[in-house]
Structure 1
Amino acid sequence: DSSDESTKGSAIGQHFEGARHRTVTIEVDDTPKIVKSEEKGGGGPATPLPGMPQFGPDELKQLVSGLLQGFSPDPVKPGAEWTQKGKRSLGQFGEMDFEITYHYKGDEDRDGAACAVIEFKGDLKGDVAVAGAQPGSDGGKLGFEGRKLEGRIVFDKLRRAVRESEQTVNLTVQVPSPGGGTFSLPMSQKVTVKLISLQDA
């Protein structure tokens, strides 16, 4: 966690610190397809783990584009569950196979709007690519273990827009050690996307 002072000085903390120096403003239509984006910032510290993937503007855009990926193709009622399988893009991390179960928990009011609350959890499978020859990588792949994904989606049923999406990925990654070799590092990535405003088409 780059915002955690106790881990900020670690190699992995410094690696992801650069993302905190950048902002991205994204405008989407109702599909939701990105129609406009603006990036600001940059100039964060150099990574001590060159070649290891980072989370940046491109990864955020892919996350926003996939907000509706898990929605059921058929109408559902509160209490319904469904499972989906496929591939999920992780940006520079590559693609991972996923199997996720979704649960339509019920409805709640958000700013006077009736919203559906959908919770999900599941597993990710596969290793991800790294740039160049890196210690701890096998044939250009970075090994992950214990990959779990969970989160929730708040969907505005009238405006057909995702008001909030939150997902947490827990995994253990084998990363290069400064002295050579590798070490196992538990990681937890939490990403929250919130709708800032709505505009008429």
Structure 2
Amino acid sequence: MSTNTLIERPEQRPEVIDEILTTLKRYDVSVIKDLEDYLFDQYENGFSDLNSNLALLKLYELSDETSVERQDSTIKILVKGLIQFTSSDFTLYLHLLPPYIFSTKNEYTERIQGLVQLYELLISNKFDQFLAKNKETSLVDEKSVKLIEETFQNNKNAKFIIGEPASEEVPVNKLSKVVGQLLQN
């Protein structure tokens, strides 16, 4: 089931990052490097800090500078969101990306659009198709795929995943009977 990862403080979070996130430094572009280094630490050590990653994306939004490093960091953040696909992390990250990401075609935007397609496969309970698409695109590294697979296996029967769309109509009286039985239990 989905958890609220925004309020969780990872035990691995250093005090300097905690200070950034709990003070006005959160809006100071001079801390971008600290947050990027922390993102690299998250990526290497297999944990995620939603609050920190959102702050980094927000600072990218406030800063005019663009670079390959920032693009790579954004991709890493989105992969962290894919690993946590049972929560809203991925979609929260997407909301902080500039709108041109979905209307422009270049290598960077195509990578992000590909990650969105992978996310849609995961939340549609299509893990085999996710693996095939990722093999074709190589957007998610093997270590992250293993973490995604763990999340998928632990949640494959969760109610938030819709395996198949409804394929038949159900009469209202039958539906109300079933719902009534569920409410009694």
| TM score, norm. by length of structure 1 | 0.27
Q: Which has the larger radius of gyration?
A: 2
| TM score, norm. by length of structure 2 | 0.29
Higher relative contact order (CA 8 A, sep 6+): 2
